[in-house]
């Protein structure tokens, strides 16, 4: 079994993780059910479209540092994935996206109002499920949700006057991506009854590795010739979306980069300008600096793992850190 670069040399671990993720999938199907046909159809739309299920996988792996057989483990993974799915419905409305996971987005199929309300329904289902996991879990979920929303608002509004654009962007990535992945790791360890110090370490690991994977996609969008991120290379560049390499390039002062900075200051809808900017950015030191930043995040996550008990689960999590470097090329 291999998911996002996670492979299992230990057969018993693979069997437990596979069974755990399968149970999460079963419970997800139940969680999106509704007596209202439209709600049930729209709520299951993205669920049935697939996805890596990275967050449930992380919950199940983190639970290996305690008792992974506890039923609360799978329930907490469902809470995390429902929250993630809900954000995708809302994101697609805000981005006016037409496609999600290779299928028409919910907003393009049913309209913005239905897509927003279905996202709200999924958040409500997650809140219902987490209430059975105790007040600490409810508090963690609420604070994670707060970070997700604040990250989206900060992204929408953009940097404030005098605020460093790169620092702002890294904060958005931490809130929009790192926060929920951190909660996935925390829930897994917490629901399995792992020691408090292990829970804390895995929470910090989730935050680090979540940000690293998101920022690695930024590098891949520029550096890849094959669209490893699932998009045509330079898609973010064309749309004027801030990313790690472009923000580093924009803050540079080298005379050679003057033309690149001029191009990056606007959306690149012209094909010739887009191609020129992509070529210049690939040759600019900003790309290597972005790679180094992502690698440092992965290394920091790896260092956290080194403090955990040696086990097949720790080895599997270590592969996530190694995969970041592999993806960077």
Tokens of 98: 């037409």
Say if pTM beats, i.e. exceeds, 0.85: yes
Mean pLDDT of 214-229: 82
- How far the first Cα of the chain sits from its last, in Å, is 23
Q: Report the CATH number at residue 146.
A: 1.10.600.10
Q: Which long-range contacts (CB under 8 A, 24 or more apart) does 163-167 make?
A: 164/251, 165/242, 165/247, 165/250, 165/251, 166/244, 166/247, 166/248, 166/251
Handedness of CA 136, 214, 101, 113 (dihedral sign): positive
Q: What is the pLDDT of residue 226?
A: 63
Residue 102 has pLDDT above 80, yes or no: no
Q: 92, 107 in Cβ contact below 8 A?
A: yes
Is the domain of 85 the same as that of 176?
yes
3-state secondary structure 65-127: HCCCCCHHHHHHHHHHHHHHHHHHHHHHHHHCCCEECCEECHHHHHCHHHHHHHHHHHHHHHH
In a domain, 169, yes or no: yes
Is the domain of 150 the same as that of 15?
yes
In a domain, 4, yes or no: no
Is the domain of 83 the same as that of 64?
yes
Tokens of 240: 């004027």
Is the domain of 124 the same as that of 231?
no
Is the domain of 31 the same as that of 132?
yes
What value does the mean pLDDT of the chain take? 91
Residue among 315, 252, 213, 325 nearest 7 (CA): 315
Q: Which of 48-52, 97-101, 144-148, 267-271 has the lowest mean pLDDT?
A: 97-101
Beta strands in the chain (DSSP E): 2-3, 6-7, 99-100, 103-104
Count up the domains in the chain and report the number: 2
Is the domain of 67 the same as that of 57?
yes
In a domain, 235, yes or no: yes
Mean pLDDT of 208-235: 83
Tell me the pLDDT tens digit for each residue of 263-296.
Answer: 999 889 899 999 999 999 999 999 999 999 999 9
What span, in angstroms and rounded, lies between the C-alpha atoms of 53 and 280? 36
Is the domain of 68 the same as that of 188?
yes
In a domain, 2, yes or no: no
CB atoms under 10 Å from CB of 254, counted, come to 12
What span, in angstroms and rounded, lies between the C-alpha atoms of 320 and 329? 15
In a domain, 1, yes or no: no
Domain boundary among 166, 194, 222: 194
Q: Which range of residues forms the domain containing residue 327?
A: 196-329
Domain boundary among 154, 176, 194: 194
Residue 227 has pLDDT above 80, yes or no: no
Q: What is the pLDDT of residue 2?
A: 47
Mean pLDDT of 178-196: 98
């Amino acid at each position: 079994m291999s998911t996002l670069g996670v492979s299992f040399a230990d057969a018993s671990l693979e069997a437990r993780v596979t069974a755990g993720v399968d149970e999460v999938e079963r419970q997800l199907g139940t969680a999106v059910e509704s007596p209202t046909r439209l709600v049930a159809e729209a709520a299951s739309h993205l669920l049935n479209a697939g996805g890596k299920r990275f967050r449930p996988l992380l919950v199940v792996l983190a639970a290996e540092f305690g008792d992974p057989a506890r039923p609360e483990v799978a329930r907490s993974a469902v809470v995390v994935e429902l929250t993630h799915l809900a954000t995708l419905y809302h994101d697609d409305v805000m981005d006016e996206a037409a496609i999600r996971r290779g299928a028409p987005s919910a907003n393009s199929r049913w309209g913005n109002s239905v897509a927003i309300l279905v996202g709200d329904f999924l958040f409500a289902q997650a809140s219902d499920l987490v209430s059975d996991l105790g007040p600490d879990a409810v508090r963690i979920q609420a604070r994670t949700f707060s970070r997700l929303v604040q990250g989206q608002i900060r992204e929408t509004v953009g940097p404030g006057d005098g605020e460093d654009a790169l620092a702002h962007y890294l904060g958005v990535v931490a809130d929009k991506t790192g926060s929920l992945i951190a909660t996935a790791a925390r829930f897994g360890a917490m629901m399995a009854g792992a020691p408090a110090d292990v829970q804390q370490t895995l929470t910090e690991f989730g935050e680090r590795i979540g940000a690293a994977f998101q920022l690695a996609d930024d590098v891949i969008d520029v550096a890849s010739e094959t669209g490893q991120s699932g998009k045509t290379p330079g898609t973010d560049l064309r749309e004027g979306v801030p990313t790690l390499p472009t923000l580093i390039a924009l803050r540079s002062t080298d005379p050679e980069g003057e033309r690149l900075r001029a191009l990056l200051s606007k959306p690149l809808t012209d094909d010739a300008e887009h191609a020129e900017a992509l070529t210049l950015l690939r040759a600019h030191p900003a790309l290597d600096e972005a790679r180094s930043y992502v690698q440092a995040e992965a290394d920091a996550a790896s260092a956290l793992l080194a403090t955990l008990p040696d086990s097949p689960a720790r080895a599997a999590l270590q592969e996530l850190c190694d995969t970041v470097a592999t993806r960077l090329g």
